[in-house]
Amino acid sequence: MTSSDPWDAETARGYDESCAAMFPPEVLGPSVDVLADLAGTGRALEFAVGTGRVASPLTDRGVPVSGIELSQPMVEQLRRKVPASDLPVTIGDMATTRVPGIRRLPPGQAAVPFEVSAAHSGFDTYDVVSQQGTSHHFSREPDGSYRYSATNFRYIWPAECDLMARLAGLEFQDGWADWTRAPFTAESDWHISVWRKPDADRRPAAGSMGA
């Protein structure tokens, strides 16, 4: 189950500002470097492209990027920065990719907090049988009140991810913990997998998940 509910016009307008810490070149650079390297002379497709945080600098690096995005308001924000001719986006659904904080969920506990502050408190709840979860957000408004929003997701494990890639006809190439290509281990908070098409075109496809 996925939802674009919280990615409404208001959230989309504030996304770049509220996520400003994820935009500086020193934060984004390593991912863009690896993605540009993987793309080579080929093209890239970003799932859940949002406001183009990653796709836009990748386009600036000369990689032709297309996107898939569920939320029209997020794409409208992207369009304020990059025209459709430079970064075409298809409005549509995809399977969400997210590494759950499930190892921080002791038996009998239903929720895992991921941020607790006066400005924002958030926690995830999980159904470990159906592998579905909900992220709950309580965000402080300028008048001091709190706004509640929630987003649903379904999580998958790395082995499922690799199986889906194999079913799609791709071959596993690399598993990394981050954009420095550190090896993926049982302790990794992030998961980046690279698969390639087993044909003459040796360009790989990359997917990532973060906790």
Ligand X SMILES: C[S@@+](CC[C@H](N)C(=O)[O-])C[C@H]1O[C@@H](n2cnc3c(N)ncnc32)[C@H](O)[C@@H]1O
> Applying CB under 6 A, does 4 fall inside the site for ligand X?
yes
* Closest distance to ligand X from the beta carbon of 6 (Å): 8
Binding residues for ligand X, total number by CB under 6 A: 16
> Applying CB under 6 A, does 94 fall inside the site for ligand X?
yes
> Applying CB under 6 A, does 93 fall inside the site for ligand X?
yes
Q: Which of 96, 97, 135, 208 binds ligand X (CB under 6 A)?
A: 96
Q: Which two tokens stand for residue 31?
A: 């991912």
Q: Measured between alpha carbons, how far is 80 from 85 in angstroms, rounded to an integer?
A: 13
Residue with tokens 């999980």: 126
> Applying CB under 6 A, does 49 fall inside the site for ligand X?
yes
Q: Which of 38, 48, 63, 170 binds ligand X (CB under 6 A)?
A: 48
Q: What are phi and psi of 33, to 5 degrees?
A: -60, -50
Q: Residue with the closest Cβ to ligand X?
A: 50
> Applying CB under 6 A, does 124 fall inside the site for ligand X?
no
Q: Measured between alpha carbons, how far is 68 from 74 in angstroms, rounded to an integer?
A: 11
Q: Measured between alpha carbons, how far is 87 from 64 in angstroms, rounded to an integer?
A: 7
Contact 55, 46 (CB under 8 A): yes
Closest of 136, 135, 139, 159 to residue 17, by C-alpha = 139
Q: What angle do CA 192, 183, 29 make, to 5 degrees?
A: 55
> Applying CB under 6 A, does 56 fall inside the site for ligand X?
no
In the chain, DSSP assigns E strands to: 44-47, 65-69, 89-91, 111-116, 120-127, 132-140, 146-154, 171-176, 190-196, 204-210
Query: Closest CB to ligand X among 4 and 193?
Result: 4
* Closest distance to ligand X from the beta carbon of 110 (Å): 23
* Closest distance to ligand X from the beta carbon of 58 (Å): 11
> Applying CB under 6 A, does 7 fall inside the site for ligand X?
yes
Query: Closest CB to ligand X among 7 and 195?
Result: 7
Site for ligand X in 62-91 (CB under 6 A): 68-71, 74
The residue range among 46-54, 138-146, 183-191, 200-208 that interacts with ligand X, by the rule CB under 6 A, is: 46-54
By residue count, the chain amounts to 211
> Applying CB under 6 A, does 131 fall inside the site for ligand X?
no
The footprint of ligand X (CB under 6 A) covers: 2, 4, 7, 48-50, 53-54, 68-71, 74, 93-94, 96
